Amino acid sequence: MWWGKRKKKRHTRIESLIGPHSQFVGDVRFSGGLHVDGQLKGNVTAADEDSSVLQLSDRGTIEGDVKVPYVVLHGTVVGDVYAREHIELAGSARVEGNVYYNLIEMAVGSAVNGQLVHISQADKGVPAAGHAPAAVKAGPSS
């Protein structure tokens, strides 16, 4: 039945901005939309885990983990990215860390120096920052 499944709406309005000549040091927790043109040193977390969106311009950099349901990257992230819903990596995007995603779009020229780990809607949640799934975590046995 049509009313049984509710479609999630992605938030598209940018309400917060870190400008191109700004350097922000510390963790950021936001809801709605966040656009980063400058440098951000800290973790980025969406307070609204259903519809928040992060846009990182080609001039922007983030040094820290990103936990946002919708992510659009044109710049560089040094840390793990947890995009529970959707991630878009433009040709200029660089990720130095693992990318956890449900749906991914990668343009030619984008780079991920880490693992791509698919998470499905059936998963209870995204692994906590710094904790890889058991299959990834397994190391040499003693």
For residue 137, the Cα-to-chain-centroid distance in whole angstroms is: 21
pTM: 0.79
Q: Is residue 116 part of a domain?
A: yes
The reported pLDDT for the residue numbered 125 is 55
Query: Pairing mode, if any, of strands 61-63 and 39-41?
Result: parallel
Q: Is the pLDDT of residue 11 over 60?
A: no
Q: Is the pLDDT of residue 46 over 70?
A: yes
Average pLDDT, the chain: 84
Q: Is the pLDDT of residue 128 over 50?
A: no
Strand partners, 56: 36, 73
Q: Is residue 47 part of a domain?
A: yes
The reported pLDDT for the residue numbered 48 is 76
Number of domains in the chain: 1
Mean pLDDT over 66-70 rounds to: 96
Mean pLDDT over 29-42 rounds to: 96
The more confidently predicted of residues 10 and 114 is 114
Q: Count Cβ atoms below 10 Å from residue 48 Cβ, excluding itself.
A: 13
The reported pLDDT for the residue numbered 49 is 72
Q: Is residue 132 part of a domain?
A: no
Q: Is the pLDDT of residue 9 over 60?
A: no
Q: Is residue 128 part of a domain?
A: no
The vertex-51 CA angle with 49 and 53, nearest 5°, equals 95
Residue 16: domain span: 7-122
Q: Which tokens in the block code for residue 5?
A: 């499944």
In this prediction, what percent of the chain has a pLDDT beyond 90? 70
For residue 101, the Cα-to-chain-centroid distance in whole angstroms is: 8
Q: Is residue 134 part of a domain?
A: no
Given a contact cutoff of 8 angstroms between Cβ atoms, the answer to whether 73 and 92 are in contact is no
Q: Is the pLDDT of residue 129 over 60?
A: no
Mean pLDDT over 92-112 rounds to: 97
Given a contact cutoff of 8 angstroms between Cβ atoms, the answer to whether 127 and 111 are in contact is no
